[in-house]
Copies of this chain bind each other. A is one copy, B any other.
Amino acid sequence: MTEEPKRRTRGGGRAGAKTRRGTSVIEQMPWNPPVNIDRPTEPLGPEGVAAIHNGAMRILEEIGIEIYNLEALEIFRKAGCTVNGENVRMDRDMVMEYVAMAPSEFVITPRNPDRAITIGGKNLVFGNVSSPPNYWDMAINRKVPGTREMCRDLLKLTQYFNCIHFAGGYPVEPVDIHASVRHLDVLYDKLTITDKAMHAYSLGKERVEDVMEMVRISGGWTHEEFEASPKMYTNINSTSPLKHDIPMLDGWMRIARRNQGLVVTPFTLAGAMAPVTMAGAVTQSIAEALIAVVLAQIIRPGASVAIGTFTSNVDMKTGAPAFGTPEYMRATQMTGQLCRFYGLPMRSSGVCAANVPDGQAMWETSNSLWAAVQSGTNMVYHAAGWLEGGLIASPEKFIMDCEILQQIQRYMAPEICATGPDEIAFDAIKEVGHGSHFFGIQHTQDRYTTAFYQPFLSDWTNYEGWEVAGGIWTQERAHHMFKEIVGSFEEPPMDVAIREELAGFVARRKSEGGAPTDF
């Protein structure tokens, strides 16, 4: 990892060249998805992993999962599962046989190949907040329904920050666009404002097919090229407890057939849609996830699949979901152990229950992001911008989160802990001796511009300096930064012909009525 905090990212390789636009507001780290060099935190012994695995297998063998998609039911039946009505059961040998077909890592390549991301192994990538219906910023200072303009602003942040490695779902739901054509307008915005890996909602065949086609157009790929390796991905949620619904499975199967990326994330809130015990909630989550993994592997052996976790707990006083809690952290770590047991990549999230970007928001988010690191997560959804349990997207929170993400990226730089003779620095220590300081010596001069993490938002001046500068709290500094970034944003380059083809596709599909809204 190269860090040049004193210099703007103004070149050096294709990625550098492609990120130079719009980087003038702040000095940020270059694009460089981190490799997680830490050994995962593992609260379970082998017997704990075996107990959760066994529980998940028993669920699949004895209780079964309800599958509300007829096509999927037929696929399971043909593959040898026990299908009773909508209930699908299968034995553990079959599960493990299909799970073994899934790759331990895969690459998603968006229209800018320099923004390709590897999902799996020790790789760690971050995505923007996805799907909040509402928006909050310091200027509005209340919760309001999302609009296309707000969505576009958050997409600009998604593109602007090099520590955001993929574009998840809509960073806020633009409810001012009719649901039938929303996916067309937002995908057009996403594909023109960003050049990062892209997501499709599995909400009906038209949406999935339209998004795949738009992504294909954006990369100038033939259909064959598009299907040669993942260019995008979907994320589906089960309907806990123990159900998978029609549109999610429909999208899942379409994406699998065309060899794109697949993430299945049960939303198992302990005490609500899952057992009150964290191990029970993880067990159920694993069972719900694995049946989708099996489905994908039946359709396409070797399909690129990751398991997501969204296991958290509720506030038992109110039933409200809680996020970034101690139980959430442990559930994430336990899920990481199971993902490694199955040899599958893992997704988790950056989450909080806080309603505004204050101290609580940051300790809850820090807890969830460090749990992602500790669990060996590969793909962090909602890594920037999430508030109110995912019901609000906030640009200030987005920028504050990016400061944490950059710090995690820097934290993973192996050179911080290098212990060669130059780093032990015996000669420098001897040179300075007992009297002076290290500011002026050559050992320091040679390294000071790159030695330490340089924040873009944290204010390290003393109180007096901070007060003279206006005494601005973090969320307000983030708000000013948001306005500057959005105000000076320049879209990444796109071939004119491709842009026209995308616009033409959107116009044609709108004239056809878009997608039905009665699913």
A interface residues with partner B (beta carbon < 8 Å): 37-39, 41-44, 47-48, 51-52, 54-55, 58-59, 62-63, 65-66, 87, 134, 136, 142-143, 241-243, 270-280, 283-284, 313-320, 322, 325-327, 329-330, 334, 353-367, 370, 388-389, 391-392, 400, 403-404, 407-408, 410-411, 413, 416-420, 422-426, 428-430, 432-434, 436-439, 443-444, 447-449, 451-454, 457-464, 466-467, 471, 473-475, 478
Contact = CB atoms under 8 A, between A and B. Distances in A.
A389 B459 CA distance: 12
A360 B433 CA distance: 36
13 contacts: A38-B41, A39-B42, A48-B419, A51-B419, A55-B429, A58-B426, A276-B443, A277-B425, A327-B416, A327-B452, A355-B466, A359-B362, A392-B463
B459 A355 contact: yes
Contact of A433 (B51, B241, B276, B444): B241
A416 B464 CA distance: 45
Contacts of A58: 426
Given A241-B438, A280-B424, 7 more contacts: A48-B417, A55-B429, A273-B437, A278-B423, A279-B424, A360-B474, A388-B462
Contacts of A243: 434
A136 B473 CA distance: 14
- Interface centre among A243, A279, A403, by most chain B C-beta atoms within 10 angstroms, is A279
Which of A143, A407, A452, A464 has the most chain B CB atoms closer than 10 A to its own CB?
Answer: A452
Q: Which 5 A-B pairs have the closest CB atoms?
A: A280-B425, A366-B366, A275-B425, A326-B411, A362-B362
A157 to B, nearest CB: 16
Contact of A38 (B43, B142, B423): B43
Interface core residue of A41, A353, A363 (most chain B CB under 10 Å): A363
A278 B354 contact: no
Contact of A403 (B66, B363, B418, B423): B363
A329 B411 contact: yes
A463 B425 contact: no
A463 B143 contact: yes
A354 B459 contact: yes
Nearest to A278: B416
Residue of A43, A142, A274 with most partner-chain B CB within 10 A: A43
A360 B459 contact: yes
Contacts of A353: 458-460
Contacts of A436: 241
Query: Max chain B CB contacts within 10 Å: which of A52, A330, A416?
Result: A416
Contacts of A270: 451-452
B63 A449 contact: no
Contacts of A392: 463
Contacts of A449: 316
Nearest to A45: B419
A30 to B, nearest CB: 16
Contacts of A367: 366, 407
B316 A460 contact: no
A497 B352 CA distance: 51
B434 A66 contact: yes
Contacts of A423: 275, 277-280
Given A271-B444, A272-B438, A400 B359 contact: yes
A235 to B, nearest CB: 22
Nearest to A337: B417
B391 A463 contact: yes
A355 B320 CA distance: 33
A474 B273 contact: no
A330 B419 contact: no
A383 to B, nearest CB: 13
Contact of A366 (B241, B370, B426): B370
Contacts of A473: 356, 358-359
A52 B424 CA distance: 7
Contact of A325 (B276, B327, B407): B407
A39 B241 CA distance: 33
Nearest to A356: B473
A256 to B, nearest CB: 24
B315 A360 contact: no
A453 to B, nearest CB: 5
A379 B242 CA distance: 45
